Structure 1
């Protein structure tokens, strides 16, 4: 019996997914040495990685064995959602950590930007409602308005950071 278009499409997507998974497995079979063994011995206490976590007041993650991200997660549902299906071991944990840190940084940057915008707009509103009859006060207020509007323009822009590529595919 012939397949319906929906069944045909579903089968096609499953074949594509299987090919991608096979290619990813083939790509990761290249890495024989576990990631934790390739790190310098002082990476967890004398590196930019460790310094960044210390500045944030967060304990520096250590890579002392080849356990994967599923051993460290606090989100019990993440195991069922397929977050740990990509790369096993300490290398998979490091890759997931990069992805999570980027997502967290983007979200936090958005919240900080929104807060700053609302505060700047509040200062602009204060200037609009203030008494500007004195020429000196008006001159200072116009200077502040210009400065605050420049700050708003800066916050409306996107920034780009460059990173070494950390993901590979087969």
Structure 2
């Protein structure tokens, strides 16, 4: 019985995680009249040379700018699959900025996951190579044990999660 309950809990957590991911991409409606100055007017004087601009530039990514009050629909790449449009609530430059923030978080999470898997696979390969070495010489055996210890510590680090904090950017009425 406890296994069924644990499985139900896992499914519930997965649904909550998926819901949160969708909410990251969907701008909240704070109500009419709250945000009167278009976001693009506020942002246009601050973006160039900002950490936002510099970080994306260092990554080789062209910085999305806000030249008008168009929402994300106007900028969506044409090669993306059709389906449910999570941009339907994002009608202006503020909505587009919120969608970009959520999408950048999702992209960073996925890229970090790929890097993590790559590094774990490579470390495991090096451990396997150490096991296959001729360790009859005491000095070679000592060096191999030190290297195995170092590699296992790296694997332990890669098993951990990292928490990064952001200022709150979504509000509800």
Q: TM-score, normalised by structure 2?
A: 0.78
1: CA distance between counterparts of 2:81 and 2:172? 23
Contact kept, 8 Å, 1:27 with 1:168, in 2: the verdict is: no
Q: How many residues align?
A: 146
The aligned residue for residue 39 of structure 1 is 43
Contact kept, 8 Å, 2:72 with 2:90, in 1: the verdict is: no
**Between Structure 1 and Structure 2, whose CA radius of gyration is higher?**
1
2: CA distance between counterparts of 1:25 and 1:129? 60
Instruction: Tell me by how many angstroms 1:29 deviates.
Output: 3.4
Instruction: Tell me by how many angstroms 1:76 deviates.
Output: 6.7
The answer as to 2:156 corresponding to 1:153 is yes
Shift in CA distance, 70/130, structure 1 to aligned 2, threshold 3 Å: same
Shift in CA distance, 28/128, structure 1 to aligned 2, threshold 3 Å: farther
The aligned residue for residue 77 of structure 2 is 74
CA displacement 1:25-83 (0-9 Å, x = unmatched): 4535311011111125141x311111111111111111111111000001477775131
2: CA distance between counterparts of 1:82 and 1:38? 27
Q: TM-score, normalised by structure 1?
A: 0.79
Contact kept, 8 Å, 1:34 with 1:66, in 2: the verdict is: yes
CA displacement 1:116-151 (0-9 Å, x = unmatched): 000000000000000111111111111111100000
Structure 1 unaligned residues grouped into runs of 5+: 1-23
Contact kept, 8 Å, 1:65 with 1:90, in 2: the verdict is: yes
The aligned residue for residue 30 of structure 1 is 34
Shift in CA distance, 79/36, structure 1 to aligned 2, threshold 3 Å: farther
Structure 2 unaligned residues grouped into runs of 5+: 1-27
2: CA distance between counterparts of 1:118 and 1:133? 27
Residue 124 of structure 2, aligned match among 121, 124, 127: 121
